[in-house]
Structure 1
Amino acid sequence: MNIRPLRSRRQLLTVLPCVLAAMTLSPLAAAQEGKVRIGLIASLSGRPDTATGESIRGAARTFVLEINRQGGFLGRQVELVEKDDQSNAGQTSVLTRELIEKDKVVAVLGLSDTASAMQAAPVCQEARVPLLLTAASGNVLLQSWMPPAMPDSFIFRVAPGDSVQQEALLHDILDKRKISTIALLHDQSPEGLAGKESLLTEMTRRHVQPAVTVSLGQGPHDGSALLRQIHAAGARMVLVYGKPATAALVADQLQRSRFVLPMAGSAALASRSFTGIARDSAEGVRMPLSYLEHDSARSKQFTQAYQQSNGGRSVPAAAVAAQTYDALQILRAAVQQAQSTEPDKIRDALEDLQGEVQGTLISRYLKPFSRFEHDALSADMLVVAEFWRGQVRFVYREDAAAAVEFRPRKIRAEGNAK
């Protein structure tokens, strides 16, 4: 092959820009050639209640190890960029902005509670980067970031919201157990206050009201006075909303008294944060769950993969771990469908996923999201579980039998999101 030398300065000036363009990739092109970064924010320190955050991180690590062995996203390796908000919601918005602007993530995942999620949501919305919530249950999250409040939403959730959990709880209490006199207890945390309001709304819809509503202040409370209030109201059931530590203290007081009542609470109770304090007092406490470890090949496979990816450690909050893993499976499907890692195109694909996404939960995802529905889970996808001899188990045989099957969510009509 003969290469003729450049004979003039004009020729050199014509060729040189092309050479430099070939040698220097634009930031977008460079990003396309590198790893696909996914941001993760969770509470991993700052208080004893870190089971949720550890489960989010552990499940995400499990997914990333598996997907990278399979070739990653569109042939590119996936990198998990982890941030610990130290249980301080005030830091969450700063960390979210850092993930988007500095780390150039294509999506943000996790958030241990509603207060933190409320800080991350506006940052992701403004930057037009998908946020996948896998633990935060507050109804206000989707109400604030869905049409008509937000016509172009980037906020999605793969976790049961408060109203979804309470629909399943009240079905168990009112319809199956035939208990209608309920003592509602809540603490002053965002979870406790939001849970109380949501439960009152759901009870009103079911034409019942609490026999008594008790606000538990910050710190220790008078257990004897609390029990007298419950007894005087004639309550036959105790529902507790708030931090797991609050529910653990109530469970302990109920067990110590002669006035023993059945107790239930949110999905947050199915974690080490509750059982580590309640111990034997947890026996019989019920909660609605999207997933619990059980005797099936799929569940055993997930548990084993989690342990192998996390130094042999057990799952502190199995439902949260499964929700996080499944959110990443859904994200993977969206990237594959969009054939792109651009956040806008991922969002569009999330709202119109074609085909099924099979996950770890007791469900399958068939169009989990739409423009008007960004909650992937509904009450019919949950089961009622309880603590029995230190383990979480199914309450009803039909739920245990269905654990090996996939439960599709009932698809709502456009514009009729709850």
Structure 2
Amino acid sequence: MTDFAWTRDQFLLPDGVIYLDGNSLGPMPKAAPDRVARVLQPEWRDMLIGGWVKAGWHMMPETLGDRIAALIGAEPGHVVVGDTLSIKVYQALAAALALRPERRVILSDTGNFPSDLYMAEGLARTLGHGTRLVTVAPEDVAEALTDEVAVLMLTEVDYRTGRRHDVAALTARAHEVSALTVWDLAHSFGAVPVDLAAANVDFAAGCTYKYINAGPGAPAFIYVAPRHAEKADTALQGWQGHDAPFAFDPAYRPASKVARMRVGTPPVLQLAALDAALDVWDQVDIHDVRARSIALSERFIAGVEETCPQLRLASPRDPERRGSQVSFHFEHGYAAMQALIARGVVGDFRAPDIMRFGLTPLYIGEAEVDRAVEILAEIMKDRLWDNPDYKVKAIVT
């Protein structure tokens, strides 16, 4: 049983702040500063370049990959950490397309995160020969899977509404037509139970700065199923993915298994912060997190709908069909969110009119949910959002 009083005590949060934006950037684990400082000194200070071996820096992408694998139902040795989520999606998609050379269609949905679609469009343009991205409404994905589709590329949990795809069912449906799957777990990892091996997923990628709390810009990860591991094409042939990177061979020879998906030099400071964040997850059962997340989400929805009739639920009503966030439509959503933030309730906004709230049980409980509802109700009742200062959009929303 997960001790949520203990997990709450593992994070640094400003006094007076109700943080409902962990679905965008998680708060700092208390252990992170010391773990990062250890890299600075004594490791970097005393070991200098020797830290790559003596401190284990070089192997961190694999060792942390195995820690993540245990949390997402992946086989050991088939997850590696590094680079950004966009890069990892690109790698996974390129590898999947290379395994289906006779097909040209990448299928996704219109609600997918734009960066994933940008990556797919760019890769299709580079490959040419009729390779193209096709998007359909989320509810039409299964029907759109035909024998023309090479790869189904989806994000499990929609970044705007929290709507959740059925990974196992859609993967099975894709395999029925001999298509491969690439799943983006950005809003799944640390929010809902994930079991990649059981779902027979081909490729997956995810980030670590949201629910995992590894810090801004924390590296992403990629999963390659064992059946593809020795065949996966490495479209981005970085030196760290070479079979012998320090041989400096002018000819590229991919490393074995998922290590071939390494690209550039590991970001050691960020990996150290991830290491500290994962220490918290060693004490957490994701099924407990999921149950508590649903309870908090239901409480939040009930409170908002009772007191804020101006807001309309954008997330699925059924908690089993959404992730660990709740979203509402409101015409003046951006200004209302700024009014909330000014009063210590931090959520965020997604165009055109969506107010997003992350319900993250590791550090949020019933008291925070109830107080957030009270403050939101005051803002709506007194039209406190109707302030010119709140309507000036910042570069990050």
TM bucket by the smaller chain?
A: 0.3 to 0.5
**TM-score between both structures, scaled by the size of structure 2:** 0.34
The structure whose RCO (Cα within 8 Å, separation 6+) is larger is 2
